[in-house]
Amino acid sequence: MKNLFSIIPADFFKPLNSKYKEQYADCLLAIYNSYRTEISYGVDREAVVSTLTEYFNQRTDDISFDDDNSFEKDSRSKAQKTINFLKDCGWLDFEEEKNYQQNVVLTEYAVPFIRTMHDVIREEETEYQGLISQIHAVLQNEDLYSKPYQFILKNVVSNTEQLVSSLKKLNISIKKHIDKQTRNKDLGTVLDMFTTYNDEIVSKSLYRLKTSENVGKFRQSIKINLDRMLTEPKILKDLVDGYMEIEQETDASTAQDKLIQMIVDVKSAFENLDKIIKDIDRKNIHYMKNAASRAKFELASGTNQEGKINTILRYLTEFSDEDETVPDELFNVFIQKYVSEESIKKVPEKKSYEEVATINVAEMLTDEEKAIKKKLLLDKQMARFYRKKIESFVSDLLRDKPLIMASNIPITNRKDFENLIYIRLFAIQSQVYRVKKTNQRVKTDKCEFTDFEIIRKQAGDKDV
């Protein structure tokens, strides 16, 4: 794996770590923006000098480019020396044309750094519209499978990485967004923020991922087409050939392993998208609650005692900016309106102690009482009906017979009739016997029921 500092020059970050880092950063962005209408990241030196001269004309500070601390005051001179300094540090390079014109060119490793600086400064929210549907459409387009690596997989991997990276960026920036919108703002501003927050921050980014571009609508089709790339020999061969051509890989086996890893990574990313979106929703709700609590705190400026104290302290804060005689001790008083949901400290609870009840002395049983209690428990246990006990009872009734009629079982008391009921109930799950209903009604002086056959169960038998 390549090391970053084996690619960029040793002094590459020197402009951004110097006393004049603000000016150098502005100059790099100005040069980058001046190339937007050009066909490459290179333009006539005089045009770059003109751009930077205009920048320095708007600033009054002087810059020293020498160790002897001699300062440049002329804007054009500052522009010329800035270009030379950035060239020495590896951000710029010079190209000579046939007409002796000198072009100033951004180096290949400077472009991504400046682009990132540009994106960080803009702080624009990423919209994810189209990324998932683009991935799906590319995988569905049969015409593109003539060169599956160049036209399909490379774009799929790029769009997937952009989607996941942008969602992760949003995930870690939600707290910053809400704090920025609500901290040190008056109540009206905080309340207005609630009405626009979903449209401008989260919903703008996530709305389509939950509706028209819901991951679930496309995920299965995307996975099927990715698997197809690995299972169809022709597509896999074309993938390997394309990878070796574009990435300049000489070993086909290594190329295939890397392609497999790329496809696995894309599938894994789509499996994890739901978790990322769910975590974004969780954080969004959490920090919105905090912002709501902050709004509640602002509402303390009412007519109650807390509101009056809050109003007094706010007035003293404003008044103290003009009158230095206000005692500092006044501002050692802090009001507390709400418990922050970000705090991990438990809210203290007031403990109450009740009178301890009298501990009863254990009752000692005699041997005779123990024997009686033991017999009662045993009788109670034996009186319980359970499947194994009923199956044992039925086996004793059947003995060597293939079946018996329920009417042949003597019923002299309530317990006998309960046995008959449980025989019928447990037959469904029994491995010992099954039952077969008849149309014959049986009536005795103790009970009345529909007679049924109790049949010894054989392999493959079913209840009727």
The number of CA neighbours under 13 Å toward the Cβ of 265 is 15
Overall pTM > 0.85? no
> Mean pLDDT across the stretch 339-357?
62
268 versus 168: the higher-pLDDT residue is 268
Q: Distances in Å between the alpha carbon of 257 and those of 244, 254, 264, 299? A: 12, 5, 11, 62
Calculate the average pLDDT of the chain. 79
Q: Distances in Å between the alpha carbon of 113 and those of 13, 28, 34, 219, 309? A: 10, 10, 16, 33, 51
What class, spelled out in words, does domain 4-122 have in CATH? mainly alpha
What is the per-residue pLDDT across 399-454, written as a single tens digit (0 to 9) for each? 888 899 998 988 888 888 888 888 888 888 788 888 998 988 888 887 888 899 99
Nearest to 262 by CA among 156, 334, 169, 140: 156
Give percent above pLDDT 90 in the chain.
24
User: Is residue 200 scored above 80 in pLDDT?
Assistant: no
51 versus 335: the higher-pLDDT residue is 51
User: Is residue 279 scored above 80 in pLDDT?
Assistant: yes
6-15, 17-26, 62-71, 218-227: segment of lowest average pLDDT? 62-71
Quote the pLDDT of residue 180: 64
* Residue 304 pLDDT level (bands cut at 50, 70, 90): low
- Residue 244 contacts residue 149 (beta carbons within 8 Å): no
Backbone angles phi, psi at 287, to 5 degrees: -75, -25
Quote the pLDDT of residue 453: 92
Quote the pLDDT of residue 459: 63
Tokens 């990435």: give the residue.
247
The Cα–Cα gap between 338 and 112 comes to: 46
- Residue positions counted in the chain: 464
User: Is residue 355 scored above 80 in pLDDT?
Assistant: no
Quote the pLDDT of residue 382: 64
**Sign of the Cα pseudo-torsion (252, 255, 261, 263, in order):** negative
> Mean pLDDT across the stretch 149-178?
83
Tokens 């030196």: give the residue.
45
Domains in the chain: boundaries:
4-122, 131-287, 300-340, 376-456
Q: Is 371 exposed, middle or buried (0-12, 13-18, 19+ CB in 10 A)?
A: exposed
Nearest to 67 by CA among 9, 12, 18: 18
Distant-in-sequence, close-in-space partners of 121: CB < 8 Å, separation ≥ 6 = 29
98 versus 168: the higher-pLDDT residue is 168
254 versus 384: the higher-pLDDT residue is 254
Quote the pLDDT of residue 378: 76
Quote the pLDDT of residue 27: 92
Compute the chain's Rg from CA coordinates. Answer: 42
Nearest to 288 by CA among 339, 347, 341: 341
Backbone angles phi, psi at 106, to 5 degrees: -75, 135
User: Is residue 350 scored above 80 in pLDDT?
Assistant: no
The Cα–Cα gap between 127 and 164 comes to: 12
The Cα–Cα gap between 168 and 230 comes to: 29
What is the per-residue pLDDT across 4-46, written as a single tens digit (0 to 9) for each? 888 899 999 999 998 889 999 999 999 888 887 766 667 788 8
> Mean pLDDT across the stretch 82-105?
87
Give percent above pLDDT 70 in the chain.
70
Distant-in-sequence, close-in-space partners of 45: CB < 8 Å, separation ≥ 6 = 83, 94, 101, 102, 103, 104
